[in-house]
């Protein structure tokens, strides 16, 4: 009895001390909140006002897991992410009962099935396509769907390794992003597209200009198949790349040719390129030095602004043309960008892509310049729409991030990515197991390609790139649908058989 009494007495004392400590902490927070001047809510409602900030931060997680419907979230909804997750298993991706997609939403693409589609043994298979016929070493690309630019620095070492190995297994190319070529891009032995950003990381001289010796060395690498001159990207047109100093390790700094620990902010454009003539000259110079196909990546604000470039190509001759043009939609993503540029600048890919395709075709350059579409194209329907609109290839960055396990935590710029994809924290990177993830990357790519081929087979063509605008209808505001070739007539002769 005496022992029990003393135990109860000690427990009571503990609770008294605990309550006293809680009161003391609350009083301290009360004084801090009442005397601070930066937050009116906390000043007027001390202590309790702090819960507003907490609930605001937790809100995005509660919405994602409990409240948002499958097709409501932005930038990618649960249905899109789940499709990728299922595709990475390599076990098929069928669903049951019926579609959960609202087919009355304006802008929804609806593909047109053929009255008498080809038999199953006449399945639509993707054929390789040559890029850069005037380069010393043209590139015969095998896949219509590839990995878009994500630099080592923006994403982690294990993420780069998994993408490289997955790309090699699936037979697709991998774009380095503007951060230069790291040893980890070469781990899998995949085809590489070397992106030259405005800071020219990896091929820059001491003054930030292009170093031909370094460029030539990159061109001699057999895995580097093409070079992409980055003029702009969808998430931040008119603004250079932004890599926070906390993500710049000594290794990343060495690869890029910059100082570790300092913010890496690229110029907003290439200082060598002030007009279309200089752009074509610069592309020709890179092609001459490297011997590889060269194109550029940009964001369209007005198709009329690009017409003079195609006219100049016709004047100079098709040899002067870029070997490819990557069109990034204004809805494209990035690790860090100002919100006004992320939200408000640049045409969406659904409008920009057909406009640039029409400009190319109107100037008779369909067989010379390949068009690559990028910008929130992660599912087979997105890719098939882009092919119908005139793209020769489609690339995705965030789709492949989902294949690595991205949960859309929206922390890419903070070095705290919980899945290890966009962080250089070794503890967090440990969650990304390359041996597992590279297979998921390959499975995702294969599944997208397979289902695009399935759509192509359904609409009655023998190869996905034979799909045309007449093969897809776009839902209008009144719920009816109109063929894309009626909304945006094509100059392609094959559009009117």
Pick from 13-17, 193-197, 404-408 the range whose average pLDDT is largest: 193-197
Kindly state whether residues 191 and 314 are assigned to the same domain.
yes
Kindly state whether residues 61 and 164 are assigned to the same domain.
no
Provide the number of structural domains found in the chain: 2
On whether residue 76 sits in a domain, the answer given is no
Which pLDDT tens digit goes with each residue over 65-113? 554 555 556 566 667 777 787 788 888 777 766 777 778 889 999 999 9
Q: Is the peptide bond before 85 cis (omega within 30 degrees of 0)?
A: no
Q: What is the mean pLDDT of residues 11-30?
A: 83
pLDDT of residue 41: 76
pLDDT of residue 489: 87
Kindly state whether residues 357 and 471 are assigned to the same domain.
yes
Q: CA 227 to CA 213: how far, in whole Å?
A: 15
On whether residue 12 sits in a domain, the answer given is yes
Residue 191: which H helix or E strand, with range? strand 191-196
On whether residue 79 sits in a domain, the answer given is no
Kindly state whether residues 394 and 311 are assigned to the same domain.
yes
On whether residue 475 sits in a domain, the answer given is yes
Residue 129 · residue 140 · CB < 8 Å: yes
pLDDT of residue 386: 97
pLDDT of residue 51: 72
Kindly state whether residues 237 and 368 are assigned to the same domain.
yes
Which pLDDT tens digit goes with each residue over 161-208? 999 999 999 999 999 999 899 999 999 999 999 999 998 999 988 888
pTM of the model: 0.86
Which of 56-60, 186-190, 307-311, 457-461 bottoms out in mean pLDDT, i.e. has the lowest?
Answer: 56-60
Helices (H), 36-103: 40-44, 50-62, 78-87
Q: CA 8 to CA 12: how far, in whole Å?
A: 6
Kindly state whether residues 395 and 479 are assigned to the same domain.
yes
pLDDT of residue 153: 84
On whether residue 371 sits in a domain, the answer given is yes
Tokens of 307: 């017409």
Residue 124's pLDDT band (cuts 50, 70, 90): confident
Q: CA 420 to CA 320: how far, in whole Å?
A: 43
Q: CA 277 to CA 313: how far, in whole Å?
A: 9
On whether residue 83 sits in a domain, the answer given is no
Kindly state whether residues 258 and 384 are assigned to the same domain.
yes
Question: Which CATH number covers residue 290?
Answer: 3.20.20.70
Q: CA 310 to CA 317: how far, in whole Å?
A: 10
Kindly state whether residues 196 and 58 are assigned to the same domain.
no
On whether residue 283 sits in a domain, the answer given is yes
On whether residue 97 sits in a domain, the answer given is no
Q: CA 327 to CA 355: how far, in whole Å?
A: 10
Q: What is the mean pLDDT of residues 342-352?
A: 77
Q: What is the mean pLDDT of residues 28-38?
A: 83
Q: CA 403 to CA 84: how far, in whole Å?
A: 6
Q: Is 147 helix (H, G, I), strand (E, B) or coil?
A: strand
Residue 463, domain extent: 121-495
Per-residue CA distances from 14 to 28, 323, 377 (Å):
21, 75, 59
Kindly state whether residues 141 and 37 are assigned to the same domain.
no
């Amino acid at each position: 009895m005496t022992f029990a009494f003393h135990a109860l007495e000690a427990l009571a004392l503990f609770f008294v001390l605990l309550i006293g400590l809680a009161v003391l902490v609350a009083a301290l927070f009360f004084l801090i909140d009442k005397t601070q001047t930066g937050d009116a809510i906390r000043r007027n409602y001390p202590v309790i006002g702090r819960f507003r900030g907490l609930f605001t931060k937790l809100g995005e997680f509660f919405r994602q897991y409990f409240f948002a419907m499958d097709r409501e979230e932005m930038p990618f909804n649960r249905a899109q992410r789940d499709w990728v997750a299922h595709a990475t298993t390599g076990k098929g991706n069928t669903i049951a009962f019926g579609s959960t997609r609202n087919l009355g939403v304006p802008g929804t693409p609806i593909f047109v099935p053929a009255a008498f589609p080809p038999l199953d043994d006449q399945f639509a298979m993707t054929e390789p396509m040559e890029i850069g016929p005037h380069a010393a070493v043209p590139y015969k690309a095998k896949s219509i769907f590839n990995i878009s630019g994500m630099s080592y620095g923006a994403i982690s070492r294990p993420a780069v390794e998994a993408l490289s190995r997955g790309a090699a297994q699936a037979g697709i190319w991998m774009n380095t992003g503007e951060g230069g070529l790291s040893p980890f891009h070469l781990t899998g032995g995949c085809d590489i597209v070397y992106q030259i950003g405005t800071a020219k990381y990896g091929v820059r001289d001491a003054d930030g200009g292009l170093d031909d010796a370094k460029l030539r060395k990159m061109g001699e690498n057999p895995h580097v198949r093409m070079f992409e001159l980055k003029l702009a990207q969808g998430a931040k047109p008119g603004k250079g790349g932004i890599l926070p100093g906390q993500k710049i390790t000594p290794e990343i700094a060495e690869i890029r040719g910059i100082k570790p620990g300092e913010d890496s902010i690229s110029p907003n454009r290439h200082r060598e390129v002030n007009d279309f003539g200089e752009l074509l000259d610069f592309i020709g110079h890179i092609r001459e030095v490297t011997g590889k196909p060269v194109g550029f990546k940009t964001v369209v604000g007005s198709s009329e602004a690009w017409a003079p470039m195609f006219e100049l190509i016709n004047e100079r001759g098709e040899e002067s043309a870029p070997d490819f043009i990557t069109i990034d939609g204004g809805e494209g993503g990035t690790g860090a960008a100002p919100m006004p540029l992320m939200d408000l600048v640049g045409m969406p890919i659904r409008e920009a892509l057909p406009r640039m395709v029409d400009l190319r075709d109107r100037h008779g350059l369909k067989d010379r310049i390949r068009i690559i579409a990028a910008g929130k194209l992660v599912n087979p329907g997105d890719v098939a729409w882009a092919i119908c609109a005139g793209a020769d290839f489609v690339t995705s960055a965030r789709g492949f991030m989902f294949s690595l396990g991205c949960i859309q935590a929206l922390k890419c710029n903070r070095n705290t990515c919980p899945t290890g994809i966009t962080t250089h924290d070794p503890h967090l990177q440990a969650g990304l197991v390359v041996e597992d993830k590279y297979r998921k990357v390959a499975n995702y790519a294969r599944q997208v390609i397979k289902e695009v081929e399935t759509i192509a087979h359904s609409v009655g063509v023998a190869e996905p790139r034979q799909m045309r605008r007449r093969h897809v209808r776009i839902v209008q505001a009144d719920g009816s649908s109109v063929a894309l070739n009626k909304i945006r007539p094509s100059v392609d002769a094959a559009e009117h058989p």
